[in-house]
Amino acid sequence: MGPADAPKARLNVTSGSKASSRMTPFASMLMLTAGAGACIPAGAAVARIHGLHPGWLESEFRHFVMAFGGGVLVAAVALVLLPQGVTLVASPVLEFSMFLLGGVVLFALERLLARRKVESPLLIATLLDYVPESMALGGAFAVGLKEAPLLALLIGLQNLPEGFNAYRELGRDRSADHGRALVGLAMLVPLGPVLGSLGWYFLSKYTPVLGAIMLASSGGILYLVFQDIAPQSRLKRHWFPPLGAVFGFGIALLGQLLLEA
């Protein structure tokens, strides 16, 4: 039974005992998506700690957290999103196109946010990658991918530094209500199970769409890593150079896919 057949088999189950076992991965998905989302306000709560030395918090620790988040994001792409996306999408050209599309969309959104001078770009970026990842996670559980729990763990680990940095960004505005900011980040927690359920019931029936979302998320994540995390690639008020990383990785991916076709 391939990945595409797993949701059909799961939907055709009629006996009480099998229905009960079917709910087990669904309940696990709900719990893990909620846990991954809870890491966002957890990271923000760490940023609220006042006992840390301000200079040290702003330098070594903050850069460590950002680098940690970047490492987790790259791991999510390399270990789960990209391999599984390639498995679920049959066309090398479509795989290549979706990967590039994810990077281009994030590039365009960051340009739009910059032009409109959005006050909390890191918070918006957190939401932009949390939404497709949660949907993909729900679909991954529905089709029975063994890497689904790993993906949930990686999403949670990346959400910790993203919540931390988003709150620190909000903290620079002395007029902002930091308590309300933390509550706002906490409100993202139930969004994970909702999106995961959408992925469970919809994406499991259309596994090529699930694969396409995974590939687009991979391209978008790679862009964010080089634009917002990797300090060596960032130029102030320039958004195009990090897109080169997406194209370079995508061309290498296309070559590998064509060799395996």
- Distance of alpha carbon 95 from alpha carbon 80, whole angstroms: 15
| Contact of 25 with 199, CB cutoff 8 Å | no
With the C-alpha atoms ordered 250, 214, 161, 150, is the resulting torsion angle positive or negative? negative
Phi/psi of residue 235, each to 5°? -120, 135
- Give tens-digit pLDDT for 133-148: 899 999 999 988 888 8
Rg of the Cα trace of the chain? 19
Helix (H, G, I), strand (E, B) or coil at 254: helix
Q: Please say if the pLDDT value at position 17 is more than 50.
A: no
Is 0.85 topped by the overall pTM? no
Helix (H, G, I), strand (E, B) or coil at 238: strand
- Give tens-digit pLDDT for 54-82: 555 555 666 677 777 777 888 888 888 89
